[in-house]
């Protein structure tokens, strides 16, 4: 279940997308957070999402790359098994995964550690 494009929701209600490949590096899984688009000044709209992108997107939203987090596969399994997070099917389409990864490169807020991981995994040029 834990793989590229997996979507999960933590207890507080935010949705997360796995943008790295957990099979290549189970100790460092890059996850990005989605939040509601409010058209505030100084927000980073490097990657905006719409209802047609995924079932988890119910209204215009965007990825907050500055809140991205790294988890281990073991942590994700533990969160899911203890109901601290919920798997949201289906996984992202390849098109959405590419959009999320391109947004990571475009955003000035994405930690370099994330960009390096994605490049090392061959997921970014």
When pLDDT is averaged across residues 24-47 and rounded to a whole number, the result is 92
The DSSP H or E segment spanning 75 is helix 73-81
77 pLDDT band, cuts 50/70/90, is: very high
pTM of the predicted model as reported, rounded to 2 decimal places = 0.94
pLDDT of residue 34: 96
Q: Is the pLDDT of residue 1 over 80?
A: no
Can you give the residue ranges of every domain in the chain? 7-120
Average pLDDT in the chain: 94
109 pLDDT band, cuts 50/70/90, is: very high
Half-sphere exposure of 64 (CA within 13 A, CB side): 14
Return the CA Rg of the chain: 13
Sheet strands (E) in 13-112: 15-18, 29-36, 48-49, 61-71, 85-87
């Amino acid at each position: 279940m834990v793989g590229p494009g997996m979507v999960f929701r933590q207890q507080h209600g935010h949705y997360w997308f796995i943008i790295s490949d957990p099979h290549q590096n189970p100790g460092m899984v890059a996850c990005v957070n989605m939040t509601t688009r409010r058209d505030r000044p100084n927000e980073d709209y490097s990657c905006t999402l719409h209802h047609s992108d995924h079932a988890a997107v119910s209204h215009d939203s965007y990825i907050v790359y500055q809140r991205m987090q790294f988890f281990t596969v073991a942590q994700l399994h533990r969160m899911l098994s203890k109901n601290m997070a919920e798997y949201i099917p289906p996984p992202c389409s390849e098109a959405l995964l590419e959009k999320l990864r391109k947004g990571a490169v475009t955003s000035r807020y994405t930690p370099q550690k994330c960009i390096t991981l994605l490049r090392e995994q061959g997921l970014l040029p």
